[in-house]
Amino acid sequence: MAGECAHRHGLVDEGIKGYVDRIVDSPNALTIHQAPPMPRKDRSEPIGLLARENANDEIYERICIAILEHRLHPGTKLGEDRLAKIFHVSRARVREVLNRLAHEQMVELYPQRGAFVAKPTPQQAMDVFEARRLIEPAILKRLISHLTPDKVARLRQHQELELDARRRDDRRAVVRLSGEFHVLVAELAGNGALLRILRELSSLTCLIIILYDTPTAISCRADEHSDIIDAIAKRDAARAEKLMMVHLNHIESSLTLDSTAEEVDLETVFK
């Protein structure tokens, strides 16, 4: 899947492989059409922390989906005032969400300038794919060792959603679902730490694809996902890991690491 807040550090260092080994087997553009007002509780009801968190989650999810569907491009300014008007909330509420997104490296925060959708450099793009090549085979290994028929069914259900989006030529849905496939694999593997890492890397990958992929390319090929699922279902860890490595290399090799993204409009994105 993502903020340097001021400066970003590389995601991969010498310790990442060891970290994975330790945790893998552990349990556990800017014109704006107004969005509908956020749901409000009746004044007679107490407005507690849970209600605030739910509202924040909704804003967070909408911004994340806009990024995943390539409607918000890297480098887009996320002005607090404009987002507050779009979502009918306070600037403080927007600031909380932007801080959360910055923590997950999907947004970069700059003093006196504000928040911007993260814009990974070519080197950071290579770092992300290196990290994914280290982590995703380990995730597959853990998933297969904890595999159930229900987990296989969920993977196949997700694949059907992706295939349906391709049949409808819904590029935005295809891009989002392609990234979500990898997150689902991590979720089903049952290791929360690996899931958090993969979620961040997947979000970063989406930003990288927006910046550096060709306009007509799709981030993930459906047949490659299908082959990976088949190998998982057969509990063939070696084949699943090999297919995943080929898949990740295919995505990275399709990138042109010298492109720039166009400006987009926030109101249009969240109409």
pLDDT in tens, 29-67: 333 334 444 444 443 444 455 556 677 889 999 999 898
Q: Do residues 246 and 140 both lie within one domain?
A: yes
CATH number of the domain residue 192 falls in: 1.20.120.530
Q: Do residues 37 and 150 both lie within one domain?
A: no
In the chain, the N- to C-terminal Cα span, in Å, equals 25
Full domain range(s) for residue 186: 122-253
pLDDT of residue 224: 93
Bridge partners, 108 (sequence order): 116
Asked if the structure places residue 232 within a domain, the reply is: yes
> How far apart are the C-alpha atoms of 221 and 248, rounded to whole Å?
11
Q: Do residues 177 and 144 both lie within one domain?
A: yes
CA atoms within 13 A on the CB side of 3: 23
Q: Do residues 166 and 52 both lie within one domain?
A: no
Q: Do residues 248 and 141 both lie within one domain?
A: yes
> How far apart are the C-alpha atoms of 211 and 170, rounded to whole Å?
20
Mean pLDDT of 236-241: 98
Q: Do residues 86 and 175 both lie within one domain?
A: no
Q: How confident is the model at residue 209 (pLDDT cuts 50, 70, 90)?
A: confident
What amino acid is encoded at 64 in this protein?
C
- pTM beyond 0.75: the answer is no
> Which residue's entry shows tokens 């804003």?
59
Q: Do residues 248 and 147 both lie within one domain?
A: yes
Q: Do residues 137 and 78 both lie within one domain?
A: no
pLDDT of residue 215: 56
Asked if the structure places residue 18 within a domain, the reply is: no
Percent of the chain with pLDDT over 90: 56
pLDDT of residue 219: 55
> How far apart are the C-alpha atoms of 95 and 228, rounded to whole Å?
40
Q: Does residue 130 surpass a pLDDT of 60?
A: yes
pLDDT of residue 199: 93
3-state SS class at 77: strand
> How far apart are the C-alpha atoms of 271 and 265, rounded to whole Å?
10
CATH number of the domain residue 90 falls in: 1.10.10.10
Asked if the structure places residue 1 within a domain, the reply is: no
pLDDT of residue 62: 94
Q: Do residues 74 and 138 both lie within one domain?
A: no
> How far apart are the C-alpha atoms of 251 and 245, rounded to whole Å?
10
3-state SS class at 240: helix
Q: Do residues 108 and 153 both lie within one domain?
A: no
Lookup: tokens for 212: 């550096």
Q: Total structural domains in the chain?
A: 2
The greatest distance separating any two alpha carbons of the chain, rounded to the nearest whole angstrom, comes to 59
> How far apart are the C-alpha atoms of 85 and 82, rounded to whole Å?
5
